[in-house]
């Protein structure tokens, strides 16, 4: 038991970040069927904001990172995705690649591609005792933050007006417009929420890794996409569960694989993913009516 607690905290701190990232992707996908690869830069750019503002007080740096993420995401929606709305998902997917590449190159141009040190949550570097073992404070904070955000997002979707409109749009976009739901507002809400989640991931993940580079967000977004597919595209619960699942499995592999095989952890992870998709090609929680979009 005593050595299980740190493993679990590890697993859920990794899985939580994947879950938040998968949710950020899933929110936009469910509303407008856009698989947004630029989500990687929604994570990377605020992480660079943390780097630029590393001399500033923590609260200020984090607020700025959140603001940067929201502005970037709204600007992307307005400039790149809104003109393409209603066009087939493949075109929008390519557009999101383009945005992603563009922002990545922009970061290389502005900051070069070397690692930049960041430590936005330096005050969480210690450990606390939990169930008789000492647990890393940052990881514990990560787990708690993820859980709090998941609950907050659930409450938002369930009990607020915007949340109701988002769920309606996710289930049947055409019908929702007919019922008076404003398409622009719902999509903007999805992008803002997605950016908020991305900013939180940027803060927590950069605090864990200690550096940022132009492909910083990509490494986590790739895995989160896998998590979204595992959970069932277009289903937010599925995205969250898929994220946790992939994180937990990755950590357990890291912990319990024989040391010689650990470098191939990802290979084992993706093997499991393939096996899951063989048996559940629609993911664990398939969304309804993915194709129907008239």
Q: Which is nearer to another protein, 15 or 234 (CB)?
A: 234
Minimum gap (Å) between residue 71 Cβ and another protein: 27
Q: Which is nearer to another protein, 150 or 166 (CB)?
A: 166
Minimum gap (Å) between residue 162 Cβ and another protein: 9
Burial of 259 (0-12, 13-18, 19+ CB in 10 A): exposed
Q: Which is nearer to another protein, 10 or 165 (CB)?
A: 165
- Which H, E and C letters describe 163-215, residue by residue? HHHHHHHHHCHHHHHHCCCCHHHHHHHHHHHHHHHHHHHHHHHHHHHCEECCC
Minimum gap (Å) between residue 239 Cβ and another protein: 15
> Alpha-carbon distance 272 to 253, whole Å?
11
Minimum gap (Å) between residue 77 Cβ and another protein: 20
Minimum gap (Å) between residue 187 Cβ and another protein: 15
Q: Of 273, 170, 275, 189, nearest to 231 (Cα)?
A: 273
| β-pair type (211-212, 133-136) | unpaired
Q: Which is nearer to another protein, 44 or 235 (CB)?
A: 235
Maximum Cα–Cα distance for the chain, whole Å?
59
Minimum gap (Å) between residue 137 Cβ and another protein: 38
Q: Are 61 and 49 in contact (CB under 8 A)?
A: yes
Minimum gap (Å) between residue 170 Cβ and another protein: 9
Residue 47 belongs to what H/E stretch?
Answer: helix 39-52
Q: Are 69 and 42 in contact (CB under 8 A)?
A: yes
Q: Are 222 and 237 in contact (CB under 8 A)?
A: no
Q: Which is nearer to another protein, 159 or 279 (CB)?
A: 159
Q: Residue count of the chain, please give it.
A: 294
> Alpha-carbon distance 18 to 125, whole Å?
22
Interface contacts to another protein, rule CB under 8 A: 159-161, 164-165, 167-168, 171-172, 175-181, 288
Q: Which is nearer to another protein, 262 or 293 (CB)?
A: 293
Minimum gap (Å) between residue 288 Cβ and another protein: 6
Residue 159 belongs to what H/E stretch?
Answer: helix 137-159
- Which H, E and C letters describe 226-278, residue by residue? HHHHHHCCCCHHHHHHHHHHHHHHHHHHHHHCCHHHHHHHHHHHHHHHHHHHH
Q: Which is nearer to another protein, 105 or 293 (CB)?
A: 293
């Amino acid at each position: 038991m005593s050595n299980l607690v740190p493993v679990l905290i590890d697993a859920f701190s990794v899985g939580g970040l994947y879950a938040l990232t998968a949710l950020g992707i899933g929110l936009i996908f469910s509303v407008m069927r856009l698989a947004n690869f630029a989500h990687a830069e929604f994570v990377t750019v605020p992480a660079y904001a943390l780097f630029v503002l590393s001399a500033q007080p923590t609260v200020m740096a984090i607020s700025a990172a959140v603001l940067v993420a929201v502005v970037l995401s709204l600007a992307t929606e307005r400039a790149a995705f809104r003109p393409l709305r209603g066009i087939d998902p493949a075109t929008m997917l390519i557009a999101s690649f383009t945005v992603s590449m563009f922002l990545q190159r922009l970061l290389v141009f502005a900051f070069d591609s070397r690692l930049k040190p960041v430590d936005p949550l330096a005050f969480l570097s210690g450990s606390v005792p939990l169930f008789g073992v000492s647990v890393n404070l940052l990881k514990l904070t990560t787990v708690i933050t993820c859980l709090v955000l998941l609950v907050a997002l659930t409450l938002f979707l369930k009990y607020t007006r915007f949340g109701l409109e988002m769920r309606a749009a996710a289930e049947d976009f055409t019908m929702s417009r007919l019922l008076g739901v404003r398409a622009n507002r719902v999509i903007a809400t999805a992008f803002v929420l997605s950016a908020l989640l991305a900013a939180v991931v940027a803060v927590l993940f950069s605090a864990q890794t200690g550096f940022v580079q132009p492909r910083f967000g990509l490494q986590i977004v790739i895995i989160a996409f896998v998590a979204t597919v595992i959970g069932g595209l277009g289903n937010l619960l599925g995205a969250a569960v898929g994220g946790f699942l992939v994180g937990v499995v990755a950590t357990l592999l890291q912990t319990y694989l024989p040391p010689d095989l650990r470098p191939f952890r990802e290979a084992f992870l993706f093997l499991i993913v393939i096996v899951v998709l063989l048996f559940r090609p629609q993911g664990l929680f398939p969304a309804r009516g993915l194709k129907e979009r008239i």
